[in-house]
């Protein structure tokens, strides 16, 4: 859709969501001029997806109330996102947009748990922490703190590979725009090149298949395991749909290899600790969000991470966990008299 048609619709949609408009409106309007302007938030605005937009509006409004200088916060969001809005592919821009929304969500959630006076640090070539803030103790004491926000994004897994392969095939086989691919599987971690090639090869042959039809694909997983995938084709709207049966003989999740996720989380925590080392305050908060494919995370993994941080940094680094942009657990401590 041309920019001249998109902008008026976006402007009209943003009028209904003033907090989203204040924080993200400049980026979305800039995105309208990109070669391929598609993005998650743009699609939500144009389709009036009220559930999602209401959540973004609520988080954006509480974020605006929690920060000391809203204009500075808006500028930070715009500066950190403008290059992505102009030139990124839809997938790349969505990833950056999710990172920015995570900062908004973390501030919103922590503000409801006794943290205040969030001061966004201006963007800097040398990466440092994201916000200064104040933690309020149970005894009425206050503590200056620094907050760094990190997002462990959902991996580009099996379903993503099917989406990309179907999109490529549809260029030469327009009939694929009328066929849905239903992918039934359980494990959806980052794919290897060999696994991606196997999916591409399967999808290339789908255009010659009768509709409806089913195929099976087995990928070699970690530790010589086998990932079994059922692929069903049916008439539809050119979508890739993922299903995961649970119960009975099926696994109940989380559908991730947690040792690999643990190693990735530790690497992220170590980088964040280096950034927080520049914090002049006594308390350092790290908010770590898990954007897992199945919106699940085991309590054992959370306990392992908290134990690692405590053994590595004692009380000098406080880990606050989030799952899909919502508060999960965490208890920053200083002098033992306050909790989040």
Residue 126 scores a pLDDT above 80: no
| Rounded mean pLDDT, 59-85 | 96
pLDDT, residue 66, reads: 97
| Residue 220: band (very low, low, confident or very high) from pLDDT cuts 50, 70, 90 | confident
What digits encode the pLDDT tens for the residues 253-280?
788 878 888 999 999 999 999 999 999 8
| Residue 337: band (very low, low, confident or very high) from pLDDT cuts 50, 70, 90 | very low
pLDDT, residue 226, reads: 84
Residue 57 scores a pLDDT above 80: yes
Residue 131 scores a pLDDT above 50: yes
Burial class (CB in 10 A: 0-12, 13-18, 19+), 241: middle
- Whole-model pTM: value is 0.82
Q: Coil, strand, or helix at residue 91?
A: helix
The rounded mean pLDDT for the chain is 88
Alpha helices in 112-142, H assignment, sequence order? none
List b or e across 249-284, with b for residues whose CB sees 16 or more CB atoms inside 10 angstroms: eeeebbbbbeeebeeebeeebeebbebbeebebebb
């Amino acid at each position: 859709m041309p920019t001249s048609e998109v902008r008026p619709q976006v402007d009209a949609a943003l009028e209904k969501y003033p907090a989203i408009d204040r924080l993200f409106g400049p980026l979305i309007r800039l995105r309208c001029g990109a070669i391929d302007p598609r993005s998650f938030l743009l699609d939500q605005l144009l389709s009036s997806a009220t559930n999602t937009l209401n959540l973004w509006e609520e988080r954006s409004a509480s974020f605006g109330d929690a920060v000391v200088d809203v204009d500075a916060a808006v500028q930070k969001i715009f500066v950190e996102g403008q290059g992505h809005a102009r030139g990124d592919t839809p997938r790349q821009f969505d990833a950056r947009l999710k990172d920015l929304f995570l900062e908004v969500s973390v501030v919103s959630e922590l503000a409801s748990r006794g943290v205040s006076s969030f001061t966004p640090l201006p963007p800097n070539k040398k990466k440092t922490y994201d916000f200064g803030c104040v933690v309020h103790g149970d005894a009425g004491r206050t503590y200056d703190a620094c907050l760094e926000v990190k997002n462990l994004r959902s991996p580009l897994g099996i379903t993503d590979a099917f989406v990309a392969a179907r999109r490529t095939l549809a260029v030469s086989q327009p009939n694929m725009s009328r066929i849905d691919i239903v992918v039934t599987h359980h494990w959806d971690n980052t794919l290897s090149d060999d696994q991606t090639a196997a999916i591409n090869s399967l999808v290339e042959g789908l255009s010659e298949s009768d509709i409806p039809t089913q195929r099976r694909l087995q990928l070699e997983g970690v530790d010589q395991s086998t990932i079994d995938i059922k692929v069903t084709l049916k008439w539809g709207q050119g979508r890739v749909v993922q299903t995961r049966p649970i119960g009975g003989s099926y696994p109940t999740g989380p559908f991730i290899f947690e040792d690999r996720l643990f190693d990735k989380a530790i690497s992220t925590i170590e980088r964040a600790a280096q950034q927080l080392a520049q914090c002049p305050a006594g308390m350092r908060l790290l908010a770590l969000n898990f954007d897992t494919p199945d919106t699940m995370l085991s309590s054992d993994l959370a306990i392992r991470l908290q134990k690692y941080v405590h053994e590595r940094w004692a009380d000098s680094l406080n880990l606050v966990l989030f799952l899909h942009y919502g508060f999960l657990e965490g208890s920053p401590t200083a002098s033992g008299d306050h909790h989040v």
